[in-house]
Amino acid sequence: MREPVTILGNYLSPYVRKVLVCLQLKGIDYRIDPFAPFIGDETFSRLSPLRRIPVLIDGDFVLNDSTVICEYLEDLQPTPALYPAAPRDRARARWLEEFADSRLGEVIVWRMFYQLGVKRYLFNETPDEEVVRKAREEELPEALDYLEAQLPAQGFLFGEVGAADIAIAAFFRNAAFVRYQIDAALWPRTAAFVERALALPAFRALAAFEEKTLRTPVAQQREVLIELGAPVTANTLGNIAPRRGIMKVE
């Protein structure tokens, strides 16, 4: 039996969520260090040069970037496959994962969740309403138009659920955290697809931890998650004072 891997991350990050769902689907045992985004010191920079989460720690091996981590998990344990085998399908899966991580990241994480969640509740600052309005009314609809043309009417993109499906669905959890729901009248495939993906046990297993994290101040999250039965590891980075950093959540 291999030792569990450690994920340095936070249940509210869609990039962390993508990796946790992949770990779950592959049956790879893990512990999470529920590291609060936007907070960290130089110890964290050494583990994550771009100050992003998640970080995977597998023994003495430290790896960054959610996409690179998912590809590593696929190489480490090829079944169940989370990327299709045929080169064109595989490329399209990687592209859609990139589209989600990049474009849905910009719009949902940075212009909606950050403004309405992180900025308001973690930093006690006023959201920029124009940034939020443009994201909701212009940028996200444009991304949804694109997804609507890509996603299948039933099932998942390439048969069984894979990394591209997981990446796309993961972002709409963050949209839901700030009360955005996809309008099924306008984007019926996307709305049904996201609902189908988020109903998978691997996503549902995380929901209670996400909701608890949302409602708990950063300093108490670790303790509260342990009480709730989350697979929380000892504090990887030691006690660090919260500070506003340049951290990105990817």
Task: Return the residue matching tokens 């303790």.
Answer: 223
Least distance CB 56 / a second copy (angstroms):
9
Under the criterion CB under 8 A, does residue 75 sit at the interface with a second copy? yes
**DSSP per-residue codes, 144-174:** HHHHHHHS-SSSBTTBS--HHHHHHHHHHHH
Segment interacting with a second copy (CB under 8 A) among 28-36, 71-79, 203-211, 235-243: 71-79
Q: Which is nearer to a second copy, 65 or 210 (CB)?
A: 65
Q: Which is nearer to a second copy, 187 or 209 (CB)?
A: 187
Residues in region 98-117 near a second copy by CB under 8 A: 98-99, 102-103
Residue the block writes with tokens 């930093």: 123
For a second copy, the binding residue among 1, 27, 79, 88 (CB under 8 A) is 88
For a second copy, the binding residue among 3, 27, 49, 179 (CB under 8 A) is 49
Instruction: For tokens 């399908």, name the residue.
Output: 89
For residue 76, CA distances in Å to 57, 58, 67, 81, 201 come to 14, 11, 14, 11, 22
Q: ∠ at Cα 29 (24, 30), nearest 5°?
A: 90
Residues lying near a second copy in the complex (CB under 8 A) are found at 49-50, 61, 63-65, 67-69, 71-72, 75-76, 87-88, 90-92, 94-95, 98-99, 102-103, 146
